[in-house]
Amino acid sequence: MRILIISDHADPLAEVGSKDAGGQNIYILYFAKFLSRLGIFVDVYTRWDRSNKQEIVNLNNHFRVIRVKAGSKHYIPRDTFLQVIDEFADNILKRVKRERTRYDVIHANYWFSGVIGLKIAKKMKIPMVFVFHSIGQVRFETLKKYKLQKGDYILFQTRMLWENTIVHQSSQIISTSPVEKQIIKKIFNVPNEKIKCITIGVDQNVFYPIPLSKARKSLRIENKCKLILYVGRIEWRKGIGTLLFAFKEIMKKYPSALLYIIGGGKNKAAQKLEQPEIDRLKNIIRKLDIKDHVFFWGPKNQKKLCFYYSAANVCVVPSYYEPFGIVPLEAMACGTPVIASKTGGLKFTVVPKKTGYLAQPRDYRDLAEKIELVLKKEKDYFSENCLKRIKNNFVWEKIAKQYVAYFNELIKEHKEENKKIS
């Protein structure tokens, strides 16, 4: 079996935490890696966004990342990708023809990839499955409720029209949680059988529990203090501002508490894009008089992240909208409870009172209340449930096997359908 994965803006080998590089990048990397370990041939096509990157990277004998020329070889904002998707699709088709590669299934991620995938699937006459990662209408309504940037309206209208086309023309839709499945059914009016729910996983060889004292010794953190952790991109919709106000409330009871913020870009281009949000957050920190307790540590590689998760008393995911959220899985795999916003897939991954709590989005008082509940009960109260939740639902080895069985059935159905037509 050979799978063609399209991940237009999310290069699986990109530096995670910087602008436009987050959960989708991680998902694609591990999804492809674990499929390849089962003997599946996987090619991930992503945009060639820097001239100093290799065009083709062979991760192993079954897994390649192929960078596709689409526009000039430098960073362009994701929201401008409509300008380059035709070139993207055409260059994939040229490579496939040149290499004489025969794919069995297209796996498209995010709506730009869906547009590209439909064009390629039609040419190759193979099935295409689509993963949203973010649903336009839901995101539009959420941002409109809180804060919608100028110019977004037209793009969202275009996006929603395309998403409707993609849903109805794809062979199948993959939802990453039961919550998302119900949303897709409601918005797009598609039958239950067209949507397959296969969740996202975590690699337990990378994320595992390290004793708190050992993790803190490695990171030079004092054992007795309460450590609250945020991991993710530095952008407005991630709710870091709300977390800062909640942390101020926490400090009233725990005056020596620390808040670690991990994420952001390493290169100058990424840092420049994030700077307005960082300036905004630092201004809030000054006004709240908490600057000696809040630390921005920048991005960390995944092996190092394991130590931060294990050292924390609680990990907080305060997003205003989150389709799924990989950070809660990574934290729970390290035995660390999670406080997450009651939105999107977070309502599925986090089990209130067992693996942490859910808080109302953009409500710092509720968020502070839930953080305090975890700190009061202490980490050990939740750890065993966190590890069980991961083992039973979110392990990549099991999820990859689900995908193989699913793809085999899809290919079989497609061949039978073609026989009927011919």
**What is the per-residue pLDDT across 307-334, written as a single tens digit (0 to 9) for each?**
999 999 999 999 998 888 899 999 999 9
Closest CA to 1 of 106, 129, 92: 106
Angle at 280 between CA 275 and CA 281, to 5 degrees: 100
Q: What is the distance between the alpha carbons of residues 4 and 96, in angstroms, rounded to a whole number?
A: 10
Determine how many CB atoms are found less than 10 A away from the CB of residue 273: 18
Residue 20 confidence class, pLDDT cut points 50, 70, 90: low
**What is the per-residue pLDDT across 179-196, written as a single tens digit (0 to 9) for each?**
999 999 999 999 999 999
Give strand pairing partners of 395: 202
- The share of the chain scoring above pLDDT 90, in percent, equals 82
| Domains along the sequence of the chain with CATH | 2-201+395-421 (3.40.50.2000), 212-393 (3.40.50.2000)
Checking 147-152 for CB contacts under 8 A at 24+ apart, the result is: 147/236
Give pLDDT, residue 76.
86
Please state the pTM of the whole predicted model: 0.93
Checking 163-167 for CB contacts under 8 A at 24+ apart, the result is: 163/111, 163/114, 163/132, 163/135, 163/136, 163/137, 163/188, 164/188, 165/118, 166/108, 166/111, 166/114, 166/115, 166/117, 166/118, 166/130, 167/130
Q: In this structure, are residues 310 and 333 in contact, taking their beta carbons and an 8 Å threshold?
A: no
Q: What is the distance between the alpha carbons of residues 296 and 259, in angstroms, rounded to a whole number?
A: 9
Q: What is the distance between the alpha carbons of residues 401 and 171, in angstroms, rounded to a whole number?
A: 20
Closest CA to 63 of 111, 24, 28: 28
Strands (E), 275-332: 294-298, 314-317
**What is the per-residue pLDDT across 390-403, written as a single tens digit (0 to 9) for each?**
999 999 999 999 99
Checking 375-384 for CB contacts under 8 A at 24+ apart, the result is: 375/226, 375/250, 375/254, 375/313, 375/314, 378/313, 379/212, 379/313, 379/314, 379/335, 379/336, 379/337, 381/337, 382/337, 382/354, 382/355, 382/356, 383/209, 383/335, 383/336, 383/337, 384/335
Say yes or no to pLDDT of 265 above 80.
no
Higher confidence at residue 155 or residue 67?
A: 67
Q: In this structure, are residues 128 and 118 in contact, taking their beta carbons and an 8 Å threshold?
A: yes
DSSP 161: H
Say yes or no to pLDDT of 153 above 90.
no
The H or E element spanning position 377 is helix 364-377
Closest CA to 55 of 106, 92, 16, 85: 92
Say yes or no to pLDDT of 413 above 60.
yes
Say yes or no to pLDDT of 85 above 80.
yes
In the three-class reduction of DSSP (H, G, I as helix; E, B as strand; rest coil), residue 50 is classed as coil
